[in-house]
Amino acid sequence: MLKARLKPHGGIHPDSHKQLTSDKPIKTLDTPWRLLLPLKQHAGAPALPVVAVGEQVLANQLLAKGNGRFSMPIHSPLAATVTAIDGSQITLRVASEAQRSVPPLARDGELSEREQMIALVEQAGIVGMGGAMFPTADKLRLSLRHSIDTLIINGSECEPYLTCDDRLMQEQGVQILGGIRYLMQITQASRCFIGIESNKPDAIEAMESVCRDEAGIDIVALPALYPMGSEKQLIEAVTGIQVPSGKLSADVGVLVQNVATCIAVFHALRFGRPLTHRVITLSGDALEEPTNVYAPIGMPISEIISQCGGLKSTPERIVLGGPMMGKAIQNIHAPVTKGTSGILLLTRQEVPHPKASACVRCGRCVAACPMSLTPLDLVGVLKQDKLDEASSLGLADCLLCGSCAYVCPAAIPLTEYFDWGKQTLQRQRLSEQKSNRTRANGDARRERLSREAAEKEAAKAAKAAASPRRPRRQTTEEAS
Amino acid sequence: MNLRAPHAHEGISIPTLMFKVNLALMPAALLGIVQFGVPALFLMLTCLGTALLCESACHRLNPQAAGRLNDGSALLTALLLAMSLPPHAPLWLGALGTGFAILFGKQIYGGLGQNLFNPAMLARVVLLIAFPVEMTHWISPSDLFAGHWYGLNIDGISGATTLGLHKEGKEQFDLIAHLTGLSSGSLGETASILLVLGGLWLMQQQVFTWHVPVATLVCCLLPGSLLWWFDASAIPNPLAQLTSGGLLLGAFFIATDPVTSPTSAKGKLWFGAGLGFLVFVIRAFGNFPEGVAFAVLIMNAATPLIDNFTRQTIYGSTVAEEKA
């Protein structure tokens, strides 16, 4: 076992609440009666449905195909009937009879070995399962253009409450190892580090014993610090290098994959199975029995809860993901997606009720920011809509990790400001790109028209020169 | 209701912070009252009352003012001012000072968190310049357990401070008296031990970090000790420098005011260093025997500059520049 090279700057130590579920084995759920599959479960545009209402589908059958950049296919977790398709999701009624599945995904023989494997990962619809839902195939494709020497498997799981990766490492270490071997083959990385926070001794021990005889694979015990699982902080802690601002981790020869993604890659490459199920932590004091579940993607939260003992009290807030970066939802019947790592049903006591006040410039946010930004100054300029100044203060580098808002004694919604600022910047950049493209197109068209006109003119002149002159002279004579 | 992430909070709020600072000051303030008698008690009550009155009037006049009446910041300003006044200062002086601190030190800028200068120190300097006689009328504390310490001590015996005596060329220093609050000085600055304990407790409670107090003390006492070593007549001995005057109160409770000090750790170190050195310079070479309030105001003015020069290096930015 290795130690982290350094402790990244800033970060916070929130109450972990992991003891609620850390010793609960992953429980496989009974088949639900319906599934709701959102068409957008990835970074890009929503997938395009390829099935029709009323159609019978088998397990693992393709339901929707990727639509352009960073868009991934979606498969049916179970044999079912399509009952509805609207703009945002496909609704399935799960068949009650025996489950049958389509044949496994096959490799495309045309491509090179590495590209075949990446194509299969893409066909399986795998996205980053830590929550970002960035298509894994697109990340792996970076290794074709950049030389990758280090693969880092992210088992830090720094978000409070969540224990699904912890349980996966304890229960399915061999499959993680299988995934690592495939990933090392794809990326051609020479070494692999599995980063695990030191507050998960059981997971560290399990992975140590699995990887004992593996050359080039090492376990790195990381400091228990939020946001240790953020890609940039993880890379810094493991390798000691910082990813330059605005660059990708592949630019420094590193690729990071989450442990659950690793297992999904293993299943896709070994068995030709698309990503249709995932492990989710079900936690929070409002639950009767907090636990870890293996659920089909698209299963409504309410059904998962009812299979796990139900609710103890009315939750004050339902959060998908971890409490630091997760999204609060109102609808308890909402489905889980490929990126849902946790479902939290929080009681009134667990949800903060901070008293809002004015900023006293205490600097806690400055000390907590893992990117070493100055959140209080950023908010100051964002309040005045000075986006240029905000970007010179590093707004684009903000991870939206929420560390600053967590420590702010004045309870200023810092993350909300930065989210807004980042989105506005992004929109500005897109519209700038668009207008640049329009201008370039306009210039090209003008240039083409003038070139064509000149060509036409030249052709005419050439034709005139080549043709006998007499008729024309006659006409001029007639005219005169 | 805010439904945005993060759905967790450390649980420290501004009223909590203010309450803890007030609480940490209490032992020293109460000892001051015991030592200097009823006039000191009335002075403190006057300051606290005036602060609440001015604060509520300002909030009524300007409903958009930041902060709230019950957030404890006005009380803290009043308490700090009272503790830095001579114990038997006339009540009108306390009321005037507190009014100035709240109205012109804080609320005129827009309320909590908006002011450039520490309100209590601003008011203290204004009083010192406007009413030099009242502001330098020091009282010898009654002896603890001497049988009359519970007396009202209305007609306190005049006595000079150690730093003041030194300016006049008289040496008189009793370490035990300075540690336990038996020396003369401002209302709340005499009990060094209680101030240090209060400051350490606040650090343990994460109300402020060690940077400002440590930098202040080091940068005041290091040159102070060197000077004393070369020329003992120029400055009192280092222990006297530490325990008499407002250095400890300033380093732990005034310079750590978040509003008027820099935000980054590096900036806090620079701020404390500058403050400590200025205190040393004023004590050793200035006309006044004591200079904490002046030094705080000067460093407050430099805070935006320090903040600007000590901004943290953003993750990944140095690498990007090297490559570019």
Across the interface, of B7, B10, B14, the residue whose CB is closest to A407 is B10
Q: Which pLDDT band, with edges at 50, 70 and 90, does A2 fall under?
A: confident
How confident is the model at residue A112, as a pLDDT? 82
B66-77 confidence digits (pLDDT tens): 888 888 999 999
pLDDT for A359 beyond 80: yes
Q: Which pLDDT band, with edges at 50, 70 and 90, does A336 fall under?
A: very high
Contact A357/B262, CB-based, under 8 Å?
no
Contact B4/A419, CB-based, under 8 Å?
yes
B243-286 confidence digits (pLDDT tens): 888 899 999 999 999 999 999 999 999 999 999 999 999 988 88
Mean pLDDT of B204-211: 93
Question: Residue A277's closest CA among A124, A136, A158, A138?
Answer: A124
pLDDT for A470 beyond 80: no
Strand boundaries in chain B, DSSP class E:
none
Contact A324/B112, CB-based, under 8 Å?
no
* Lowest-confidence region among A258-262, B4-8, B211-215: B4-8
Report the gap between the CA of A464 and the closest CA in chain B (Å): 57
**In 3-state terms, what secondary structure has residue B38?**
helix
pTM check: above 0.90: no
* Lowest-confidence region among A93-107, B68-82, B199-213: A93-107
Task: Give per-residue burial for A332-344: e unless 16+ CB within 10 Å, then b.
Answer: eebbbbbbbbbbb
Residue of A nearest to B113 (CA): A360
Mean pLDDT of A469-474: 54
Task: Give per-residue burial for A257-270: e unless 16+ CB within 10 Å, then b.
Answer: bbbbbbbbbbbbbe
pLDDT for B137 beyond 90: no
Q: Look at B157 and B177; give whichever has higher pLDDT.
A: B177
A198-207 confidence digits (pLDDT tens): 999 999 999 9
Q: Which pLDDT band, with edges at 50, 70 and 90, does B324 fall under?
A: very low
Contact A242/B315, CB-based, under 8 Å?
yes
How confident is the model at residue A111, as a pLDDT? 77
pLDDT for B152 beyond 60: no
Contact B8/A406, CB-based, under 8 Å?
yes
Q: Look at B106 and B322; give whichever has higher pLDDT.
A: B106
- In whole angstroms, what is the distance from residue B35 CA to residue B29 CA? 10
Amino acid occupying residue A262: C
Q: Which pLDDT band, with edges at 50, 70 and 90, does A472 fall under?
A: low
Residue of A nearest to B315 (CA): A371
ipTM: 0.87
Contact A358/B112, CB-based, under 8 Å?
yes
- In whole angstroms, what is the distance from residue A150 CA to residue A255 CA? 7
Q: Quick check: B192 and B178 in contact, CB under 8 A? A: yes
How confident is the model at residue A35, as a pLDDT? 94
Q: Which residues of B touch A346 (CB under 8 A)?
A: 7
pLDDT for B11 beyond 90: no
pLDDT for A259 beyond 90: yes
* Lowest-confidence region among A238-242, A333-337, B23-27, B161-165: B161-165
Q: Look at A464 and B96; give whichever has higher pLDDT.
A: B96
What average pLDDT is seen over chain A? 91
Percent of chain A with pLDDT over 90: 81
Mean pLDDT of A19-28: 93
A387-419 confidence digits (pLDDT tens): 999 999 999 999 999 999 999 999 999 999 999
How confident is the model at residue A409, as a pLDDT? 93
For strand A191-197 and strand A150-155, is the pairing parallel, antiparallel, or unpaired? Answer: parallel
Report the gap between the CA of B142 and the closest CA in chain A (Å): 39
- In whole angstroms, what is the distance from residue A114 CA to residue A111 CA? 8
Q: For residue B203, give the H/E element and its range.
A: helix B192-204
pLDDT for A372 beyond 90: yes
